[in-house]
Amino acid sequence: MKNYLIKKATIKDLEKIHRIEKEVQIEPWSKISILSFLKAGQHIYFWCLFHKKNKRLLGYICFQLIFDELYILNISISKKWQNKGFGSIILGYLYQYAQIKDIKRIVLDVHKINQCAISFYIKCGFKFANDPKVFKGTHYIMVMSLSHN
């Protein structure tokens, strides 16, 4: 039996989301930014992963559909729950959703000093969209091409 539950985020989740955001992100979103994504509606999705027994928020993902691409805007797991497989669980739900929607690729950007996230994304099958040695900005673009059977 699964001890977690994924569901659409609501305004009631705002404080918990913001707390995790400040805890783990290098450049955290403001409450106003999070709220705007929660209210965005069409083509922007915000999901939360909760512990089933104690209802604790473990993490969340915010993403956008753009034609046949899925763009991850933000993904975070609370520090206490990192390295326990919950990031992979959220991405697993995302992959299932991408299959249903016939998405061709998943794209994200990651701060270039966030080596833990970069390693996680590579382990999950993402590749750099450009050569990271010559990229000049603060973020790398990473891509995962999806094939549907």
Looking at the predicted structure, is the pLDDT value of residue 41 above 90?
no
Hey, where are the domains in the chain? 4-145
pLDDT at 149 over 90: no
pLDDT tens digits for range 59-82: 999 999 999 999 999 999 999 999
Contact call for residues 90 and 61 (beta carbons, < 8 A): yes
pLDDT in tens, 93-112: 999 999 999 999 999 999 99
pTM as predicted = 0.91
Which CATH superfamily includes the segment(s) 4-145? Answer: Gcn5-related N-acetyltransferase (GNAT) (3.40.630.30)
Q: How far is C-alpha 129 from the chain's CA centre?
A: 18
